[in-house]
Amino acid sequence: MKLFGSMIVEENVLSVGGIKLSKLADKYGTPLYVMDEQLLEENCREYYRNFKCEDKGNKVAYAGKAFLTLAMCKIVEKEGLYLDVVSGGELYTAYKANFPLERVLFHGNNKTLDEIELGVELGVGTFVVDNFFEIEHLNHIAKEKGKIQNIYLRITPGIEAHTHEYIKTGQIDSKFGFAPIGDNIINAIKKAINLENVNLLGLHCHIGSQIFEIEPYEDATEIMLKLIKRVKDETGYLIKELDLGGGFGIYYSKGDSPRETKEYCQAILNKADNVCKEIELEMPKLVIEPGRSIVGNAGITLYTVGSIKDIPDIRKYVSVDGGMTDNIRPALYHANYECVVVNRVIHDSRETVTISGKCCESGDILLQGIKIPSVLSGDLLAIMSTGAYGYSMSNNYNKIPKPAVVMVKGGKEKVICKRETYADILRNEIL
């Protein structure tokens, strides 16, 4: 098991932010999301420093889809990062947190007209335009409001990253971006250049998620810079920014081998420098969009063990009070995690069990065939590295309320998302 940030084992009990997780469970109940605030801050700073944001004017935009709350917006703002949002709801969260909207990148492959209008009205810094439908409507709405809207065009670079099929985005067959078929990309760029109420500031690509290799980022950097050079040669128009997306992998369980933040950043910066010299192109400002790698390892989910079913010679099921409603990734992606018994982290005797959720669904399995100390009903389990896409993908299947989120730092805790009640689940229903 790997520990991150302020996570330590004291008296064989797991603590985060100077607080024993058993105390948090007693106070706030389970399931419970716990976020290490210090590690969130450190991860933001690592990217900001290693991507030369201060030295070269590059940008790091936190990908909010991984985990976005009012409190998270405040951390991102304080650490000098930009914010990548993908829906009207995420944009509204940033707005209500008083996040500087000029530092927002508004993504989405099918933004509604209402979302486009909201973004222009609120003063979003940059729209990442995904298709011809969007660029035409954005130009029209910006004209109506007397604005010139900065945009990036999202390009599909044609790169196959080694990751799960559901989180690949850089290949030609993708629902995202302008595909490199015929003159499709050049036509989109020329259209953007000629429209009166949009300003083509940059190009964007994103090759996928949970990527451990360096080479796909280097390949994407080269492809995109050569495209910028081609645009300049054919039209005389110089594209000033290049956003290479995110997808930097993290450690979840044995076998994962992510690179250090510094390695990803240096590889992109060095490749960009070399390619620009080779093709005689003025270096654009570079942008990356880490999400999972900022919040993933900073999160833990706590569960209380309920029923235990031992089927001889087949399987032992340890059921907990959460499941696919608070972490759908195992059911959706077959994602793996590490798990510990909170008050018996280190124990010689271990048994192989399957951690099952409480949903009325056979596929609600959090962990298959893992080895943990023998547990009893009432024991507390911690599943590690759940900071990304746990809370953000949580749902109310089976009318189950969403857990609370508690942030910890320096021996103090604060609730940043209240636990839902049954009344919360019904608040929009009408009889």
Q: Name the β-bridge partners of 128.
A: 152
Annotation marks residue 360 as catalytic: yes
Helices 261-279 and 215-235 meet at what angle, rounded to 10?
A: 30
Closest CA to 337 of 306, 299, 304, 375: 299
Distance (Å, whole) CA 87 – CA 116: 10
Residue 409 CA neighbour count, 13 Å, CB half: 14
291 marked ligand binding residue: yes
41 marked ligand binding residue: no
420 marked ligand binding residue: no
329 marked ligand binding residue: yes
Cα distances (angstroms) measured from residue 225 to each of 201, 244, 290: 14, 10, 20
Distance (Å, whole) CA 320 – CA 422: 19
Question: Active site residue: 44, 73, 205, 360, which one?
Answer: 360
387 marked ligand binding residue: no
Distance (Å, whole) CA 17 – CA 410: 5
In the sheet that 8-10 helps form, which strands lie side by side, from edge to edge?
Answer: 8-10, 13-16, 19-20
247 marked ligand binding residue: yes
259 marked ligand binding residue: no
Closest CA to 214 of 249, 166, 173: 249
Q: Which residues are catalytic?
A: 360
Q: Please give the annotated binding residues for substrate, written as ranges.
A: 292, 329, 333, 361, 389
Q: Please give the annotated binding residues, written as ranges.
A: 247, 289-292, 329, 333, 361, 389
Q: Please give the annotated binding residues for pyridoxal 5'-phosphate, written as ranges.
A: 247, 289-292, 389
